[in-house]
Amino acid sequence: MRVYLDNAATTPVHPEVVKVMTDVLSNVHGNPSSIHDAGRKARTLVEESRKYVANMINSSIGEVFFTSSATEANNMILRMTVKNLGVERILVSSIEHPCVMRTVEELANEGIDVVYIPTNEVGRVDIDFLENNLKQSDVKTLVSVMYVNNELGVIQEIPRIAGLCKEYSAYFHTDAVQAIGKIKIDVQETPIHFLSASAHKFHGPKGIAFVYINNDSQIKSFITGGGQERNMRSGTENVSGIVGLSEALKHYTEVELKKIAVLKDRFKAGLKKGVPGISFVEDKAPELFVPSILSASFPSTPKSDLMTFNLDISGICASAGSACSSGVEKVSHVLSAINFPSERRAVRFSFSYMNTEEEIDYCIEKITNMFD
């Protein structure tokens, strides 16, 4: 048996997504910018998808732009707020994805004041630290805090953080890659200026993502060219990918979310019973974590020291940290930020509604056997 528990790295494409994308690839070959019939057909599909995404986050259609990845979207927001909106300071959580971390590091080299917001032991950002920093100075500031952390699964207090940004007139960006589909997001209710998400994290295709840019905080294009996406993102639209993205979102309902939660609970209970000394990062406050991600902490043993390798041999795909750091024998910046004990071994298991109880039981048995 092979079991895929690395859904925070990427997810299998939903069969319905494959179907609609195949249909588009086979039958809709027009360029959405062309004004003839073939072009208009492609344009209609792109705009229907945009409408679906906009409805889901309660934005207007004109505030949603498709990009090639969340990495591109995050780069665009961080760099263009500096360039176009006069941002001189960025307050960023210390557990962001590398596509945010590396970008703010570069911006710091270019003279931007970058301040890292510390987190507590479960990975929640220190709100008092954030507020004190916002109070201290009135230079144009961008706050960037991810909705859900990809290594831990912790959910940040986004409505509160967004509220503080509004109070102190700062721009607010959230990387919602691990949250979209799993947490209800309403950009009218929560004052978010910029938000990013990526289709391959919710059973859509790789290489397509979207960015929400609030009408009142308009930036200019990061990629210049033919002026697609209303001048915001040049490059011929990835029509099948865009259709696949919106189709994938349609398959996240309460039923799927409940299923993921049941699988995680079963997995946790099984491991607690079978593995002496196991604990979970979320132990102190499991309600603050998404059901799709579980960060497990194993005692160090010859087998757990090579845990992801041994899991792979047993047919289980999981990750030592984020996808980007897996295979690298270095504690991730996220685990360092929460002071994860160096004598313990962290493994991220991440679930999807495509996993089954049989798969979970198989994994529990294999992992338990490693500690016999």
Q: Which of 280, 64, 293, 281 is nearest to 178 (CA)?
A: 293
- Beta-carbon contacts of 4 under 8 Å, excluding residues fewer than 6 positions away, are 12, 317, 352, 355
Report the nearest approach of ligand PLP to the CB of residue 148 (Å): 7
Report the nearest approach of ligand PLP to the CB of residue 225 (Å): 20
Residue 53 is a binding residue for ligand PLP (CB under 6 A): no
* 3-class SS of residue 78: helix
Q: Tell me if 71 contacts ligand PLP by CB under 6 A.
A: yes
The identity of residue 60, as a single letter, is S
Asked if residue 209 binds ligand PLP (CB under 6 A), the reply is: yes
Looking at 48-56, 64-72, 120-128, 276-284, which segment touches ligand PLP (CB under 6 A)? 64-72
Helix (H, G, I), strand (E, B) or coil at 195: strand
Listed in sequence order, the residues at least 6 apart from 296 whose beta carbon sits closer than 8 Å to its beta carbon are: 271, 278, 279, 280, 281, 346, 347, 348, 349
- Examine residue 320 and tell whether it contacts ligand PLP (CB under 6 A): no
Task: Clarify whether 324 is annotated catalytic.
Answer: yes
Residues in the interface with ligand PLP (CB under 6 A) total 13
Q: Using the rule CB under 6 A, is 306 a contact of ligand PLP?
A: no
* 69 near ligand PLP, judged by CB under 6 A: yes
* Residue entry with tokens 């994308």: 21
Distance CA 252, CA 292 (A): 12
Contact status: 93 vs ligand PLP (CB under 6 A): no
Is residue 97 a contact residue for ligand PLP (CB under 6 A)?
A: yes
SS3 category, 213: strand
**Under rule CB under 6 A, residue 180 binds ligand PLP:** no
* Per CB under 6 A, 99 contacts ligand PLP: yes
From 69-77, 120-128, 186-194, 343-351, span contacting ligand PLP (CB under 6 A): 69-77
The reply on whether position 6 binds ligand PLP by CB under 6 A is no
CA distances from 12 to 16, 142, 156, 201, 327 (A): 12, 34, 26, 9, 21
Instruction: Using the minimum distance from each CB to ligand PLP, give the nearer residue, 3 or 99.
Output: 99
Shortest spacing between CB 93 and ligand PLP, in angstroms = 11
In DSSP terms, 292 is beta-bridged to none
For tokens 């997504």, what's the residue?
Answer: 17
Q: Is 211 in the site for ligand PLP (CB under 6 A)?
A: no
Provide, rounded to whole angstroms, the least separation between the CB of residue 69 and ligand PLP. Answer: 3
Q: Given 99, 165, 324, 363, which residue is catalytic? A: 324
Question: 107, 90, 189: which is closest to 145 by C-alpha?
Answer: 90
| Contact set with ligand PLP (CB under 6 A) | 69-71, 97, 99, 146, 150, 175, 177-178, 198, 209, 323
- Would you please indicate which residues are annotated as catalytic (active-site) residues? 324
